[in-house]
Amino acid sequence: MCAMSQQVLYGELFKDIEDKLTNIDDYAWGEELFEFPIIVYTKNRSTIPGYKRICNEGIEVGLITINPNIAGMIEIVPALYEPSNKRVYIKDTQFNIYWKNLRKSIQIGIENNQEYCEQNDIKTPEDIVDLRILRDDIHEPYIQNGIIKIRVRKVDVPKEIQTKRTRQSKLDNPLNVFFYSCNRKGSRQVHDRECDVLDSIPDDKFMGSTEIPDGYILCKKCKRNLLIRMGCYPNTKQIPICGRFFHEHRVGTTEIEKMIDKGMTFHAEDMNVMTINGIEDTWQVRAVGDNVSLWHNNYVRVSNTERYITDGFHNQNYTGNMTGMLRYIEGYTWQKHLQGEERKRIKAEEEAKVIVVEDERNTNWYYMIIDRIKRFLRKI
């Protein structure tokens, strides 16, 4: 049984509009397409494999189909035709618009060319549609109700690879600073992300954290690097510079640990200056060659006991090495500074009193005689 050819039925209607279609080089009736694989591409034509070659010979074609719902009933589906391989390329968005009608046209072609289609295993219009460009390891395209849909394939990842990925994602998370094994029977040490010891932790025991878990201590091997990472946090680029700064000015790991314990942080962008956020104040250790000087943030005093911190730094005139400076910073609070001033004031007052007493002594005749006797007795 033959289906009625659309070309025969609607040929006249197409002739009516043919002259108006100027952007297309050639036409094919949908019912002729059973012989031509339709390849669906996505985004733009450059995603078509071998497009450089195809674009040289490709012809802009209009695929003629019938849409009973539009005036004139003739619908033109834009496509690219590759003559050497007899392939038709349609963009996925166009496909989704036109496929319902186009498949009806192709179905007529299949019915009227049964011998060819049986030989080529073409049973439905979908059998000539090739969705390979839209397919990859995860995405499986399919046609449902005339539209291309994409199914995301559940790829069975072996448990081993999954735990490896989980380990990597813990390392990739920039918030994680401490890495360790969750096997609490083990050494209970936390490590820096670059510590060699991490290699010995199995993937399924590997943990990353923003804090040191209870009962864990810092690994001796990577402690210094870990402390510097903590001090620079969240800036990681400054870790090597700060490391060099401490090394060149012979600051020990214990000293850096003390700073971290006190909640101090440090930053350096070059070898000239390290800025240290102390307990309340900000400090700078400025280096010229081997020599270091300590600079303290400027502040304005508003009363005997109050101040506010302003821009810039003043030289603290501290004499000593960088370790000494760090200890000075660790011990400095505004309160202690005021207490120091108070001690100085009391001492100065006491010294003034002694001078007054001695002056009085020197002028009183009674004391003058006593002192003379004392001096005389010492000589005997």
Residues that bind Zn ion (CB under 5 A): 191, 195, 197, 219, 221-222
The distance of closest approach from Cβ of residue 239 to Zn ion in the complex, given in angstroms and rounded to an integer, is: 15
Please answer whether residues 15 and 29 qualify as being in contact, where contact means their C-beta atoms are separated by less than 8 angstroms: no
Q: How far is CA 179 from the centre of its chain?
A: 19
CB of 167: closest distance to Zn ion in angstroms? 16
Q: How far is the CB of 181 from Zn ion (least distance, A)?
A: 11
Q: Which two tokens stand for residue 80?
A: 């690219």
Please choose, from the candidates 77, 101, 97, 100, the residue with its C-alpha nearest in 3D space to the C-alpha of residue 89. 77
Residue 213 or 331: which CB sits closer to Zn ion? Answer: 213
Instruction: Closer to Zn ion by CB, 82 or 192: give it.
Output: 192
Query: Min. distance of Cβ 238 from Zn ion in angstroms?
Result: 20
Which of 63, 195 has the CB closer to Zn ion? 195
Query: Which whole-number Å values give the CA distances from 180 to 172, 203, 209, 216, 256, in the listed order?
Result: 15, 11, 8, 9, 22
Q: How far is the CB of 195 from Zn ion (least distance, A)?
A: 3
The phi, psi pair for 378, rounded to 5°, reads -60, -30
Among residues 167 and 191, whose Cβ is nearest to Zn ion? 191
Nearer to Zn ion, 68 or 215 (CB): 215
Q: Are 56 and 34 in contact (CB under 8 A)?
A: no
Q: Residue 348 is which amino acid?
A: A
| Cα dist from 111 to 126, 260, 277, 354, whole Å | 14, 82, 83, 125
Q: Return d(Cα 299, Cα 316) in angstroms, integer.
A: 13
Give 229 or 296: the residue with its C-beta nearer to Zn ion. Answer: 229
- Least Å distance between CB 173 and Zn ion? 18
**Phi, psi angle pair for 217, to nearest 5°:** -120, 165
Three-state DSSP state, 344: helix
